[in-house]
Amino acid sequence: MTTKPLILPPNPTIGVFDSGFGGLTVLGALLPLIPGAKYIYLGDTARLPYGSKSRETIARYAVSSAKFLEEQGADLLCVACNTASALALTEIEQALSIPVVGVIQPGAEAACKESSRSALVLATVATTQSHAYAQALTALGLTATEKACPLLVPLVEEGWIDHHVTAEVLRIYLAEAFAEAPDARTLLLGCTHYPLLQPLIERTLAQMNHPMTIIDSAAATAVRVAEYVAPSPTGNPATCRFYATDSIEKFQRLGTGFLGHPLAEVHLLDLGG
């Protein structure tokens, strides 16, 4: 991988976009890497789930959100949404005049560093049906096996990140995936909800006697964004501003768990239909 040139000042404004809450794991990974930045986070909660929409609708929603963040002064946009990254990244890039970083390529490249043969991708139905990770991994020379795990997102949003039901669901998904890819030793978390499950995933893998290197695409994306930013010579603290297009109370409640600390005020935003 070629490191991106340092094109942003040490204290940039970074827009982070997701259809909901999961992108807060990317924001959480960004905070220690670019501590002096001004962050603007937008969760398009009124129009989720994106995965059930057409590619054209997803692109329209994602572009409207991206343009809002650029209008708010973002110097760079992080598309912290696997569905939008898989299905609408080109449209977003064409609509903006600032750098755009999605979550697919950084995650695939991080997996490539850990394996020269194959990788297993856990993701949502929409992301697996797009085959975006498989295409990115194949282009890097890896064999990719994608496993859709539709029950994991609602379990995470229910707060069941260390629950016996979630553990059993996860064990079933992994057993099915291993039947298809028994030799896989690199596991790529292809959904920004899944980092919250990483401790449970590690325990489940140990119980199944199937050791794997886990790649967090959220963390890999944060590293990629940081490559655009010059190191900060000062200790200015980060600031965060949050927007949601619906259910700001729910966003604030669930977002606290995703980000790891209480969210500041969440602003309600109407982006239209």
Residue 149 bears catalytic tag: no
> 56 exposed, middle or buried (CB, 10 Å; 0-12, 13-18, 19+)?
exposed
**Of 78, 112, 149, 191, which residue is the catalytic one?**
191
For the stretch 87-106, pLDDT in tens is 999 999 999 999 999 999 99
First to last CA, the chain: 39
- Residue 143 corresponds to which tokens in the numbers above? 């064999």
Give, in degrees to the nearest 5, the angle at Cα 239 between 191 and 267.
70
Residue 112 bears catalytic tag: no
**Of 78, 81, 112, 240, which residue is the catalytic one?**
81
- Per-domain residue ranges for the chain? 13-102+221-268, 104-220
The pLDDT assigned to 234 comes to: 66
The pLDDT assigned to 1 comes to: 41
Q: Is 104-220 assigned to CATH 3.40.50.1860?
A: yes
Amino acid at 254: L
The pLDDT assigned to 2 comes to: 44
Digitized pLDDT (tens) for each residue of the chain, 273 residues in all: 445 566 888 889 999 999 998 999 999 999 999 998 999 999 999 987 888 788 899 999 999 999 999 999 999 999 999 999 999 999 999 999 999 999 999 999 999 998 768 899 999 998 999 999 999 999 999 999 999 999 999 999 888 999 999 999 999 999 999 999 998 999 999 999 999 999 999 999 999 999 999 999 999 999 999 999 987 766 678 899 999 999 899 899 889 989 988 888 999 999 876
The pLDDT assigned to 47 comes to: 86
Element (H, E) at 224: helix 217-226
Give, in degrees to the nearest 5, the angle at Cα 86 between 83 and 91.
100
- Residue 47 corresponds to which tokens in the numbers above? 């129009």
For the stretch 202-232, pLDDT in tens is 999 999 999 999 999 999 999 999 999 987 7
Asked whether this chain's domains 13-102+221-268 and 104-220 adopt the same fold, the reply is yes
The pLDDT assigned to 214 comes to: 96
The pLDDT assigned to 264 comes to: 80
The pLDDT assigned to 51 comes to: 80
Q: Is 13-102+221-268 assigned to CATH 3.40.50.360?
A: no
Torsion of CA 121, 193, 43, 30, to 10 degrees: -90
